[in-house]
Structure formats: C-alpha cells, structure tokens
Chains A and B, each alone.
Chain A
Amino acid sequence: MAKLISELCELVHPLSVEDYTKQGGFSALEKTFKIPPEDVIKEISDSKLVGRGGAAFPSGIKMNVVAKEQNEIKYVICNADEGEPGTFKDKYLLNHVPFQIIEGMIIAGYAVGAHYGYIYIRGEYPDTHALLKRAIQELKKNQYLGNNIMDSGFNFNIELRAGTGAYVCGEETALIESIEGKGGDPRLKFPYTAVRGLWDKPTLVNNVETLANFCVVMNIGAEKYKMLGTDNSKGTKLFSVSGCVNKKGVYELEFGTSLRELIDTYCGGIEDDKAIKFVQVGGSSGGVFPAHMLDIALDYESFRKYGVGLGSGAVFVADESICIVDFLKATMKFFQHESCGKCTPCREGNRHIVKILDRISEGKGKMNDIKILLSICNAMIETALCGLGQSAPTALLTCIEYFRDEIEEHIHGYCRTGVCKFGKEGY
C-alpha cells in the first residue's frame, strides 16, 4: 500500500501538535509560505491532482479561477459532508489527522488569497465534529491559525459548521446554501462557485481528501507526486470498502491498482469464500460491475471507458445472496429520500423509479417497465439541476446493462435469490 495522505494516520495523536510537527506536519505549509501564491497553484496544477469528492475536477484549475477573482473577501470551504453510502474515508482522515486537513485549507487559502475558511461537517459525525472543534482550538493556541501564521504574514481563520441530515449538502452549492442558513437546494450552475459562492464571494470548495493531498503535493513536489498513479490519474486514492469482504475498511492505493487486487489482497477476499456477484464503486451514485469485470483498474480513465466514475472511492462488494432488484430498490429509495425536491427530474424521477422497482419486486412488473425506467434515467441524466439527480440513475443503468436477465425474471415472477417474495397475483 502506498501510504501518502494517510501516512500519519496511525502515527500521531490527532490532537497533539507536537506529534504532528515531529512527524513532518506543517512542513508543507512552511514550503508553501516560502513561495508566492501563484507558484503554489502551479505546483498543484503540475501535480495533475483532481478533486477527490467525486467529480474529479482538476484542483489547480479551480484554484486558479478563485485566485484570479478580484475580491477582498474569498472563502475556502472544506467539504466534510461525506454522505455517499459506503464512504467513510473522510471520517478516517478527520479522526486521525485533523491538522493535516486544516493545513491543506491554509495552503489553499494562501494560494487563492482567502483568509477565512469553513469546515462543513455532516451531522452524522458528532464525534468528529467535537474533535475538529478541539483541533481548531489547538491550532489557534499554537498559532497555526489566526494572524501571521508561522511568521508568514498570512492570516487564516476557520469556522466549523454542521450539517444535519442531507446528502445533497455534499453538492457544493447546496453546501453553501446550508452554511448560509438555508435549506440545501443546489444553486443554478452559473455563475460558478469559484466566482460567486458563499455570500456571493469567490469560494474554493474542496473535499477532505483533496485538502490532505495539497499537503502531500507541497511536501514532495509535483514531479515526485506525478510519478505515482497512471497516465491520467495521479497520486493515490482512499477506498472505503464495505460489504462481504473479510477486512472492511479504508485503504490507500496507487491509482491503477485493480479492483480484484483491492478485494483479494488488501481486503482478504470474500467472507465464507462465497462468490462475488457484483461490486459497486463510487457509492450509491456509482456504477455496478459484475464479477467478470473485476480486473478493471481503479483509475479515472479506465472507469470513463464504461461511462462511470470512481466517485468517492466507495467499494461495496456484494455476494450472490444479494438480489439485484432488492439492491436497486435500496439504492433508489436512498435517492428518493435525499433528493432536495427542487428540480422536476430528480424530485419526480426517483419516486417513479422506486414505484416501478417496487412493483417489479412484487412480481407486478411489466416488460414495458424497463423501457419506462430507461426514459426516466435518461431525463434525469440529461436535465437534472445538479450532480445528485444526474448520477442517481447510474446503478440502475449499469444493472439494466449487466443484470437485465435477473430484472426480467422478476417481471416474470421469479427471484433467483429468494429475497423477493411474490404474492399469488405475481405469476
């Protein structure tokens, strides 16, 4: 395992500044302060680092847009609203190396000219919230936050804000709305957050893992960083593995490692030596891969070939006891529950998909239902306002592609796993 961003995770006490500095903490910040902000952005751009929250947008480009905005007030936001089902890697980082995340925020603030940052932490992580609160206090006490940090002349402060049960707030504009004290309805695509974000000021929003990467890039330099990974996916990625593997948990892997290697080598294979039915990568908004495709490399370009993304790096492994329709119902119910309700395709589309899947699982489906499902999926991808609605149908679409037989069996009143119980009227 290539431990870069999670290197210090088990080595330091999360709230000990002394531990952290002894292990090389704040050396990235020190290097940052020695060069002008534009060179920091150049370093990040050169590293080819892309955002780790799911959208995989080049971090350097985003920084550059915010940096170029002429505005006295700018913000850096740490998106710690990790809500993608199956994902717990940000919690892992925050619980173990909160200082590293904050260091990343200070680097970002320095690069774009922002002096104020927000950490938006999901409400489901109260312990992490408490820990972050203390981490901020510690750093203030030790003058890593506040004025003239490390004698650089640079000032930076951080405020902690809590989510309270809304997956959509992981979408950056919904997150901003939430910090402003509103419901988490995503904003329109234009103008971009980098130009008009929090309180209409230029705002840089980065995922926890991306911020952790800023420290790594500044520490080892773009050249060295770029040597890790594949042609188009540089560095390492954290994967949160759940489901029927022997060793569930967070793994840091170089991009390009195969899915099979992750499961077999790192996670110790499948519980009770059962057979894998499918693996879903990227959380509930990610695509599904059947067992015969496990040699796929975990990198952006390999996934793009299949029209899906790596997303947050969640890996859910399902064995043969899992019913595909049952899985889809749970997945789509999640989106029906979490859609903000603002735009038509997502508000109404998810609900109709769930309705149709429900009737299919009861043996009351019709062959035409698959066509109807596909038309809803298409409308959601094409017209939904934000990433939630656009990516919600991914699992359904990939399942229709790889497991159409099993769905059709249900329409005919048969569930091969025995999970779906059909009434008499079913068949």
Chain B
Amino acid sequence: MLPLSLLRTAQNHPMLVELKNGETYNGHLVSCDNWMNINLREVICTSRDGDKFWRMPECYIRGSTIKYLRIPDEVIDMVKEETAVKNRGRENKGGRGGQNQRNRPAARGNFGGNRGAKGGNVGKFQKNKPKQ
C-alpha cells in the first residue's frame, strides 16, 4: 500500500500533522496531492512547546515541511478496497504491452486515413503550433 493512497483515502477525516519545526496542526483533510501538499479545514495549530494555540478556518501545508501525519486507525481498512479494485482492473487489461500491440494496426490505419482527407491531423497541428 502506498502512503499517498492512504492519505488520499483519509480525505474528510480528522488528522494531526506534525511539521519538521515541531508545530502541530489538527484539522480535517480537505485535499492532498502527489507532493503531500495538504489542505486542512477547522484547524488548531499548536506551537512547538505546546503552550500556544491558534484556531484557523483553513490552511494549506507544503508537503516538504511535514514530519509525520497521524490518521484515524479505521482509514487503513478503507484503502484496501481501493487497491483491490485497481489491481482487478489491471488484470482485465492483460498488461500494457498487450493492449498497445492490439491497438497499433488500428492507429496506423487512422493516421493514413487522416492524411488523405482534406485538412487532416497533420495540417491542424502545424496551424495551431505558432499560437502556443
């Protein structure tokens, strides 16, 4: 199981985030991304020594500043289902290579067809290029 899948599953759950500087943030996870940047709602920030507190409605934390996240125990059981579904999907496809090979002849055919037609893909692509 990947840590970031677990974090994604923990969306809408309460959690505690400790930063490298020792500050902790308690709040509900709104969203996260592949860099572990996170969005929290209804946050209580606690200073390093635990003697000062700040309440804030919302905050955004850069992933690289995080030391660890503490999440509710039950979240780990919710991830398992997701990964199981994903793996089943992969098995059905029969692997990347197999699918690509099957698609290749069709793709070649389409390409040839487009070239023959007036204003095919190649022409469109070149026209768009200078605009970008």
Are A and B a genuine interacting pair, yes or no? no
Give me the interface of A with B, judged by CB distance under 8 Å.
Answer: none
